[in-house]
Amino acid sequence: MLSTMFSGCIEQPAEEVEVEVPQEVVAGLGRDAGGVYGGAHHHPPLTRLFEMLVTTGFESEVVPQLATSWEVSDDGLTWTFYLRKGVYFHDGTPFNAEAAKFALEMHNIRRPGHLGPIASLTAIDGYTLQIIHTEPFAPLLHQLTWPLFSMASLAAFDEKGVIVNPIGTGPFKEEEWIPGERLVLVRNEDYWGGTPKLERITLMHIPDDITRAMSLEAGEIAMIIDVGGVPPEYVKVLENNPEIDVLTKPITTVRYLIFNNQRPPFDDVKVRQAVQWGIDQESIVKFGLEGIGVPLGSIVAPAVVEWNNPDIMVKYNVGMAKQLLNEAGWADTDGDGILDKNGEEFRVVLVISPCWPAPTLAEIIQGQLREIGIIVEIQVLEHGAWRDAIRAGEHDMTIHALSFIGPHNALYRSFHSEGDLNLGRGTFFNNSRVNELAELGKVTMNHDERRQIYLEVQEIIAEESPVVPIFGEVMINAVRDDIRGYKLHPWFVVNWEDIYVASEQ
């Protein structure tokens, strides 16, 4: 390109003009961020279309969002929330106590019981919401941080309580959603928290881990977000690229092995304990995750300091595993290296989805259990078929993830005999003491007493081994070097309102 033009006159030095960088970002992630909770209820932490009354802070604590403060009565029955003023939904209608009341009523239709035994929901005045329970429900605050309970406009819901129109209060709103391909967001100019710097965000669904990472290297996307965003084996490649910053943070998610506790061989506690002793978490993290993960004893992630039981130690001892199996009646009677009992070899089926990190974990666990005489067949099913199979109990073991939304949500739902995750994820665990403690945890309003209850639940889980914690997840994301302001969150909330594209230096 010619820098000088001859026109018969002396050239004058050109003034430097600062060129504004378009505030648009394309981010890649391994799932479709749209419709995650049904209908058009796009994933609130990833899209920031929706907000809740309260949310999870950067230290996994409950913090205000659309409620600025709250109080609970001495008897634990009445919760009063004082709401933020000057907030509007994306359709221009005001957020107030009546709107919050309507949203919670709709959510309670679709998911009854998750907000406790509600006797009444009342808009006391324009910005005061009152929830009265028939008995104390201590988990309410944590439950309200759950993105399921997003505040949405009256026009957002259908009669079944499903959000079918993505009309929230967040810093961004939907421009376009092509399911399975992309979700395009545009800036909410009237956001109560101030106008975001970014004007447009495109969330690209890129299911393949390596393709996602290569797209970042090629500059086709500017960010990789979400849990499981960057595969551990690709971290060093990205770190060696001077135009890319790799970000990591321990989060509230635990990956764990689930036993089908209602059928042999894992209806025997000694067999479950043996498998737990036979799994080497340190090796899994070192070789399967490139060292990016946290071995753990409890099913509650170490990142959740307030509720994790730090006294539960990681278990690994091949000798102990073999001893427990022998006590359970399993022995290698023919010297072929495979345990048998009553003429049957110890063979089990590990049913998994193809999603990261299940295939990697399954292969390592398969090898580790072979060392103690157990043959593991790995069966990989498409995600929907996998969910149906484990719900129906058509598995011996499976691998799942548990993201912490309060101790009730994590422990009652996963380990109470009637817990929806206990049944829906094919654990089928039934322990009378756990049931008793889980029920007590719901109605105990004193924080310290409640904490002791859930510490004991974790101790029982560690002893009875209905599941085996594998590792606490460290989220790996990556951004191009012109992206500023991104701060990783333990519940993978993206702080889109703070992110911007920097000018070239």
- Name the phi and psi angles at 211, rounded to 5: -60, -40
Residue whose token pair is 């209602």: 262
C-alpha–C-alpha distance, residues 410 and 414, integer Å: 6
Per-residue pLDDT at 405 exceeds 90:
yes
pTM (2 d.p.): 0.92
Q: pLDDT band for 395, please (50, 70, 90 cuts).
A: very high
pLDDT digit string, tens, across residues 353-364: 999 899 999 999
**Residue 80 CB-density burial (10 A; 0-12 exposed, 13-18 middle, 19+ buried):** middle
Average pLDDT over residues 145-161: 96
164-211 pLDDT, tens per residue? Answer: 999 999 999 999 999 999 999 999 999 999 999 999 999 999 999 999
Arithmetic mean of pLDDT, 421-444: 98
Q: Identify the CA nearest to 109 among candidates 39, 52, 151, 161.
A: 161
CB 441 within 8 A of CB 411: yes
- For the residues of 36-56, what is the DSSP string, one character each? TTSTT---HHHH---B-SEEE
What single string gives the DSSP state of each residue in 214-250?
Answer: HHHHTTS-SEE-STT-S-GGGHHHHHT-TTEEEEEEE
Task: Provide the pLDDT for residue 33.
Answer: 95
How, if at all, do strands 244-259 and 397-403 pair? antiparallel
Residue 19 has pLDDT above 60, yes or no: no
The secondary structure element, H or E, covering residue 357 is none
Instruction: Provide the pairing of β-strand 200-205 with 182-187.
Output: antiparallel
The DSSP code for 504 is P
Tokens of 79: 């919760």
pLDDT, position 488? 97
Q: Can you give the three-state secondary structure of 116-182, one letter per residue?
A: CCEEEEEEEECCEEEEEECCCCCCHHHHHHCHHHCECCHHHECCCCCECCCCCCCCEEEEEEECCCE
Rounded Cα gap, residues 164 and 12, in angstroms: 60
pLDDT in tens, 299-315: 999 999 999 999 999 99
Q: Tokens 């001495």 belong to which residue?
A: 74
Per-residue confidence (pLDDT) for residue 72, from 0 to 100: 98
**What is the amino acid identity at position 331?**
A
d(CA 51, CA 410): 22
Percent of the chain scoring above 70 in pLDDT? 96
Measured between alpha carbons, how far is 149 from 115 in angstroms, rounded to an integer?
9
Give the pLDDT of residue 503: 87
Task: Evaluate if residue 453 carries a pLDDT over 70.
Answer: yes
Under 8 Å between Cβ of 428 and 420: no
pLDDT higher than threshold 60 for residue 16: no
For position 505, what pLDDT does the model report? Answer: 54
Section 115-143 average pLDDT: 98
Cα angle: 239, vertex 243, 247; to 5 degrees: 45
Average pLDDT of every residue of the chain: 94
Residues 494 and 483: their CA atoms lie apart, in Å, by: 13
pLDDT at 422 over 90: yes
Burial classification of residue 64, based on how many CB atoms lie within 10 Å of its CB (0-12 exposed, 13-18 middle, 19 or more buried): middle
Quickly state the pLDDT bin for 420 (edges 50, 70, 90). Answer: very high
**pLDDT score recorded for residue 1:** 36
The C-alpha atoms of residue 199 and residue 24 are separated, in whole angstroms, by: 6
What's the pLDDT score for residue 412? Answer: 97
Query: Could you report the per-residue pLDDT of 227-248, keeping only the tens digit for each?
Result: 999 999 999 999 999 999 999 9
Least confidently predicted of 11-15, 276-280, 302-306 = 11-15
What domains can you pick out in the chain, each with its CATH number? 50-156 (3.90.76.10), 172-243+481-501 (3.40.190.10), 251-474 (3.10.105.10)
